[in-house]
Amino acid sequence: MFDIELSAGTIEYEDTGGDGPVLVFIHGLLMDGTAWRNVVEQLRGTYRCVAPTWPLGSHRIPMRPEADLTLVGMGHLIGEFLDALDLRDVTLIQNDWGGAQAFFAVSNPERVSRLVLAACEAFDNYPPGPVKRLLPLVKLPGGVRLLMAVLGTKFGRRGPGTWGWMSKRPVPGPVMDAWFRPATVDRNIRRDLAKYALSSPPKQQLLEIAAKAAQFSGPVLVVWATEDRMMPRDHGRRLAEAFPDARLVEIDDSYTLLAEDQPEKLTAAIEEFSTATAR
């Protein structure tokens, strides 16, 4: 693990190094860079894989109290990270969270040449419906702490409308323990998580962000799970139609977390896309 100091605070990241094409990964809420472990393991050696842990509740180092952790602020943070590491000709790859769209809408996209959107928030689906129902709890005093207590239970981890709808196959217990521990034990991590969770823009602004992001002219791969319960299947098709140079791949037998349920198929789609669009 490496770390770098940005305006919001310290960002930890994995970097496999090497001279291969650069892939930068974006994970979802209450996850860290290990959400991509099964894909990175297959790509390392051929590609330089950079997997940051974004401040979405599973980061181990709290952000500065004044950090802007809204969706727009996080879009700027992604751009700042790419600048700080001087990463070029990047393939930006996201799953679950929709941070890449925010990045393209508000930051300088010149460092990114290709984009992979894998079963993710899009258009006005921020946060997805089942998660949105938890927001009243987050607003309560001590609400995030209560939420983390629920996620420590069997129901919280595999129940309908919770993580049971994120992946068809259970995420290994030690991995999930590591994801949930920071916000369970550290009130400042809970503060950061609440900042983001309660910052969802109104529908019209979300649609404006989506429209701006769709101006990206580079190659785009949209990968969607046909059985996704969080991200509507038609959003994958709409995304593929929204970008000027996009293709759609649908993967069966998976929920949102394609990197957990179908890492081999997702990796193959990324490799084929990267090879086909290489300069």
What is the per-residue pLDDT across 155-165, written as a single tens digit (0 to 9) for each? 989 988 889 99
pLDDT of 133 strictly over 80: no
Tell me what pLDDT residue 252 has: 98
Q: Does pTM top 0.85 for this prediction?
A: yes
Q: Average model confidence (pLDDT) for the chain?
A: 95
**CA–CA distance from 168 to each of 115, 116, 158, 253 (Å)?**
25, 22, 9, 8
pLDDT of 21 strictly over 70: yes
pLDDT of 136 strictly over 90: no
pLDDT of 175 strictly over 90: yes
Q: How confident is the model at residue 129 (pLDDT cuts 50, 70, 90)?
A: confident
pLDDT in tens, 247-271: 999 999 999 999 999 999 999 999 9
Give the helix ranges, DSSP H, for the chain: 37-43, 71-84, 99-106, 129-132, 135-139, 143-151, 154-158, 173-185, 187-197, 203-213, 233-242, 258-261, 263-276
Phi (first) and psi of residue 7, to 5 degrees: -60, -30
The span from the CA of 10 to the CA of 193, in Å, is: 15
The span from the CA of 103 to the CA of 99, in Å, is: 6
The span from the CA of 127 to the CA of 193, in Å, is: 13
pLDDT in tens, 34-46: 999 999 999 999 9
* Nearest-5° Cα angle at 97, 8 to 113: 80
Phi (first) and psi of residue 158, to 5 degrees: -135, 10
**CA–CA distance from 71 to each of 17, 182, 221 (Å)?**
29, 21, 22
